[in-house]
Chains A and B, each alone.
Chain A
């Protein structure tokens, strides 16, 4: 279960990955629709949650 998620920008200032806590473990998750963690995050967003913007 996704507990929190925050975008990370790359050196060009674009959102490039997400730091997410999933089942109490921290993951760096790529923005790849084939990645199972990213799929979980998208399902979490579809339930009304929000990915925090990058610093």
Chain B
């Protein structure tokens, strides 16, 4: 590139991109945080969050199944990526089938895009991807969940890691709500039936027409040889992709914990997670202070084979199979866990601690979108 061209390029970047500050609107775009699990098998029957923080699986009506794992070492500069491997093929595709990898973004975090105004900002999506197998063509969609509008682009991936780009022009129609609900969503289409593929791919902003959502894609479920790899996902303001914004593990974890917190799960010792007191001979109430304010009042679940114990100062414990557990007076900052032991044996006004029962047990506290 000549010096003049280089200066022109720099000027373009300065004009059209966000310089400095936090650029990447995607949380855990580098797949550093896997609080729930680094490997899950037999996925595809239901939607939800299973492995990498903030990355959601959306699925409907397919017999196809897959594993979702953490990968290491590729591409250069990234600790981890994500891989989806088809384990049960589905070549008899019903019209309403889908499989998507999604990330949903709160409305209050995308107000600076000025969407729905005459000053609407362009954004650029960038990511590293590669495939194994015969399915090479997949669609990436930016979806406006407040106004049911979207724009898509078809990509052809290869067996080598490549960084791909998708610059999305500002949309002057449809403002995004300033709230804690999902407003903007990034979708990776991996499988779809004719309800979503029979039209023409919508490559400019427009209202949601199902048939135009994923026209032209292959299916990851076409063969059990298919694998889809993803790393370094970034969504930023401007018409230029800048280098991936590497945030520290701690920064990224704190961002993830606004949506999900896992205590335990593979730690070498069992963590004490809350301090409580006996309310009666059958009930202990324990307070869990959350490390960051969550998006909404969270749900609570025990995981692992043995759940939690309550411990007094002498080390007495009881297996959670003896308990019923619920939460009350919960807020996005803290929650009370009510532990009821109908067999009795607890002591009112005595101090107790809540902890997981073994190193493989965990508590999941969640307020995902």
Which A residues are within 8 Å of any B CB, using their own CB?
A: 1, 8, 10-11, 16-17, 19, 23, 25-30, 32, 34-38
Contact = CB atoms under 8 A, between A and B. Distances in A.
Contacts of B181: 34
Contact of B297 (A1, A25, A30): A30
B293 interface: no
A32 B300 CA distance: 13
* Range class of the B interface residue count: 20 to 34
Contact of B326 (A23, A28, A38): A28
Interface in B213-251: none
Given A1-B46, A23-B46, A23-B48, A37 B299 contact: yes
Interface in B17-61: 46, 48
Contacts, number: 57
B326 A32 contact: no
Interface of B: 46, 48, 180-181, 279, 295-303, 324-330, 338, 366-369
Nearest to B301: A27
Contacts of A27: 299-301
Contact of B328 (A16, A25, A37): A16
Contacts of B338: 8
A8 B296 CA distance: 19
Given A34-B180, A36-B368, 11 more contacts: A10-B329, A17-B326, A17-B327, A25-B303, A26-B301, A28-B325, A30-B327, A32-B297, A34-B367, A35-B299, A36-B367
Contact of A30 (B46, B299, B324, B325): B299
A34 B298 CA distance: 9
A34 to B, nearest CB: 4
Contacts of A25: 301, 303
A30 B330 contact: yes
9 contacts: A8-B338, A11-B328, A28-B300, A30-B299, A34-B181, A34-B295, A35-B297, A35-B299, A36-B367
Nearest to B327: A28
Given A34-B181, A36-B368, A36-B369, A19 B326 contact: yes
Nearest to A14: B328
